[in-house]
A and B are shown apart, each in its own frame.
Chain A
Amino acid sequence: MKALPSLAKALAWLAAVYAAMFAFDSSGLANPYWLQVFELACITAISALGLNVIYGFTGLFSLGHAAFYGIGAYTAALTLKSLGVESQPAFLCALLAGAAAAALVALLVGVSTIRLTSDYLGIATLGFGIIMKVVFDNADSFIPRLGGARGMTGIAKMTTLPWAFVLLGGSLLVIRNLVHSSYGRALVSIREDEIAAGAMGIDTFRYKTAGFVIGCAFAGLAGGLYAHLYAFLHPSNFDFFKSVDVLVIVVLGGLGNMSGTLVASFGWVFLLETLRVVLPPEYVEFRWVLIPILLVVTMLARPRGLLGIGEFRFLRGGAGR
Chain B
Amino acid sequence: MILEARGLTKNFGGIKALNGVDLYLRRGELAGLIGPNGSGKTTVFNVITGIYRPDRGTVNMDANRIAGLAPHRISRLGIARTFQNIRLFRNLSVMDNVRAAYHPSVPYGPVSAVCRTNRYLDGEKAIGENVTELLSFFSLQDRRLEHAKNLSYGDQRRLEIARALASGPKILLLDEPAAGMNHSEVEKLMGFILEARKRFSLTILLIEHQMRLVMGICERLVVMDFGEVIAEGTPAEIRKDPRVIEAYLGHRPAGDTSEVRD
Interface size class of B (residues with CB under 8 A): 35 or more
Query: In the complex, which of the residues A188, A202, A203, A318 contacts B92, with contact meaning CB atoms closer than 8 Å?
Result: A188
Chain A residues positioned under 8 Å from B104 (CB to CB)? 200-202
CA gap between A197 and B71 in the complex, in Å:
9
B123 at the interface (CB under 8 A from A): yes
User: Does B87 contact A196, Cβ atoms closer than 8 Å?
Assistant: yes
B123 shortest CB reach to chain A, Å: 7
CA gap between A151 and B120 in the complex, in Å:
46
A183 at the interface (CB under 8 A from B): yes
Chain A residues positioned under 8 Å from B166 (CB to CB)? 200
Query: In the complex, which of the residues A185, A320, A321 contacts B103, with contact meaning CB atoms closer than 8 Å?
Result: A185
Chain A residues positioned under 8 Å from B91 (CB to CB)? 192
Chain B residues positioned under 8 Å from A178 (CB to CB)? 110, 113-114
Chain A residues positioned under 8 Å from B80 (CB to CB)? 199-200
Chain A residues positioned under 8 Å from B117 (CB to CB)? 3
B198 at the interface (CB under 8 A from A): no
Chain A, range 172-217, C-beta contacts under 8 Å to B: 174, 177-178, 181-186, 188-189, 192-193, 195-205
A7 at the interface (CB under 8 A from B): yes
A289 at the interface (CB under 8 A from B): no
A301 at the interface (CB under 8 A from B): no
Chain B residues positioned under 8 Å from A198 (CB to CB)? 50-51, 70-72, 75
User: Does A201 contact B103, Cβ atoms closer than 8 Å?
Assistant: yes
CA gap between A184 and B99 in the complex, in Å:
11
Interface string of A1-29 (1 = CB under 8 A from B): 11100110000000000000000000000
User: Does B102 contact A182, Cβ atoms closer than 8 Å?
Assistant: yes
One of B2-10, B124-132, B236-244 contacting the partner = B124-132
User: Does B72 contact A189, Cβ atoms closer than 8 Å?
Assistant: no
Chain B residues positioned under 8 Å from A294 (CB to CB)? none
B165 shortest CB reach to chain A, Å: 11
A197 shortest CB reach to chain B, Å: 7
CA gap between A81 and B226 in the complex, in Å:
70
Given A2-B121, A3-B116, A3-B118 in contact, is the A182-B127 Cβ separation under 8 Å? yes
Interface string of A280-321 (1 = CB under 8 A from B): 000000000000000000000000000000000000001111
CA gap between A76 and B100 in the complex, in Å:
37
B110 shortest CB reach to chain A, Å: 5
Chain B residues positioned under 8 Å from A195 (CB to CB)? 51, 71, 83, 87
B203 at the interface (CB under 8 A from A): no
B157 at the interface (CB under 8 A from A): no
CA gap between A90 and B113 in the complex, in Å:
28
CA gap between A182 and B120 in the complex, in Å:
9
Query: In the complex, which of the residues B70, B90, B127 contacts A192, with contact meaning CB atoms closer than 8 Å?
Result: B90
Dominant secondary structure at the B interface: helix
Cβ-closest chain B residue relative to A204:
B72
User: Does B115 contact A202, Cβ atoms closer than 8 Å?
Assistant: no
B163 at the interface (CB under 8 A from A): yes
Chain B, range 37-57, C-beta contacts under 8 Å to A: 49-51
User: Does A189 contact B89, Cβ atoms closer than 8 Å?
Assistant: yes
A49 shortest CB reach to chain B, Å: 14
A205 shortest CB reach to chain B, Å: 8
Chain B, range 159-217, C-beta contacts under 8 Å to A: 163-164, 166-167
Given A182-B106, A182-B127, A319-B124 in contact, is the A199-B71 Cβ separation under 8 Å? yes
Chain A residues positioned under 8 Å from B101 (CB to CB)? 200-201
A88 shortest CB reach to chain B, Å: 24
CA gap between A192 and B90 in the complex, in Å:
7
B51 shortest CB reach to chain A, Å: 7
User: Does A201 contact B75, Cβ atoms closer than 8 Å?
Assistant: yes
Given A182-B106, A198-B72, A320-B124 in contact, is the A7-B115 Cβ separation under 8 Å? yes
A191 shortest CB reach to chain B, Å: 8
CA gap between A246 and B125 in the complex, in Å:
36
Query: In the complex, which of the residues B103, B110, B125 contacts A200, with contact meaning CB atoms closer than 8 Å?
Result: B103
Chain B residues positioned under 8 Å from A181 (CB to CB)? 108, 110, 113-114, 120, 124
B158 at the interface (CB under 8 A from A): no
Chain B, range 15-42, C-beta contacts under 8 Å to A: none
Given A319-B125, A320-B127 in contact, is the A196-B83 Cβ separation under 8 Å? yes
6 residue pairs of the A-B complex, CB under 8 angstroms, read A177-B113, A178-B110, A193-B87, A200-B100, A203-B72, A319-B120
Q: Which residues does A use to contact B, with CB under 8 Å?
A: 1-3, 6-7, 174, 177-178, 181-186, 188-189, 192-193, 195-205, 318-321
3 tightest Cβ-Cβ pairs between the two chains A and B = A181-B113, A320-B124, A201-B104
Supply 18 further A-B pairs (C-beta < 8 A) apart from A185-B96, A186-B103, A196-B87.
A7-B115, A7-B116, A178-B113, A178-B114, A181-B110, A182-B100, A182-B124, A188-B96, A189-B92, A193-B87, A193-B89, A195-B51, A195-B83, A197-B100, A198-B72, A199-B83, A200-B100, A202-B104
